[in-house]
Amino acid sequence: MPASSKPLTEAALLKMPAAAYMNADQLAFFRSRLEALRDEMLSNAADTGATINKNKNFPAPNDRATVEEEHMLEQRVRDRERKLLKKIHTALNRIESGEYGWCLETGDPIGLPRLLARPTAEYSIEAQERHEKMERLRA
């Protein structure tokens, strides 16, 4: 929870001076956002397991095929979420270690607008673009 009495909003966060970058209030804001995202994904995963277990027996082959296709799509989404959960865990660890908000490659600030859009970001936009360009060249 931020040090101030009321929760920090995105607008208030963006109005802070550059010297306040990754202060206690900002770190608390992002910790809360990451924890909420993590909790939502864990809840979704539990719901998926319950849905899959509930729909096991279908007399008509077409019904079974439809449900199996829906399950495959749901499992793909959960697989993406599982990968994002790892990134969330890493971001929470970076908050604890004091590294959150700083580019892993350059050490420069990642920037509040980028972190608001992608709270798991580990690189500045410029560094991320370089990584993506190198990936395309290798592919």
Report the 10 Å Cβ neighbour count for 25: 18
Indicate which CATH number applies to the domain containing 25. Answer: 1.20.120.910
Is the residue at 38 inside a domain? yes
Q: What is the average pLDDT score of the chain?
A: 86
Is the residue at 1 inside a domain? no
What is the percent of the chain where pLDDT is above 90?
Answer: 62
pLDDT-derived band of residue 2, with 50, 70 and 90 as boundaries?
very low
Instruction: Calculate mean pLDDT across residues 26-47.
Output: 90
Instruction: Calculate mean pLDDT across residues 7-32.
Output: 94
Is the residue at 47 inside a domain? yes
Domain count, the chain: 1
Residue span of the structural domain in which 112 resides: 10-138
Q: Which residue has the higher pLDDT, 76 or 122?
A: 122
Q: Which residue has the higher pLDDT, 138 or 58?
A: 138
Consecutive H or E run containing 72: helix 61-97
Q: Which residue has the higher pLDDT, 70 or 86?
A: 86
Contacts of 104 (CB under 8 A, 6+ apart): 122, 123, 127
- Please write down the HEC assignment for all residues of 11-67: HHHHHCCHHHCCCHHHHHHHHHHHHHHHHHHHHHHHHHHHHHHHCCCCCCHHHHHHH
Is the residue at 4 inside a domain? no
In terms of Cβ atoms closer than 10 Å to its own Cβ (0-12, 13-18, 19+), residue 67 is middle
Contacts of 72 (CB under 8 A, 6+ apart): none
pLDDT-derived band of residue 90, with 50, 70 and 90 as boundaries?
very high
Please tell me the distance from the alpha carbon of residue 73 to that of residue 91, in angstroms, as a whole number.
27
Is the residue at 5 inside a domain? no
Is the residue at 80 inside a domain? yes
Q: Check whether 4 has a pLDDT greater than 60.
A: no
Instruction: Calculate mean pLDDT across residues 81-90.
Output: 93
Consecutive H or E run containing 82: helix 61-97
Q: What confidence score (pLDDT) does residue 51 get?
A: 57
Q: What is the pTM of this model?
A: 0.77
Is the residue at 2 inside a domain? no
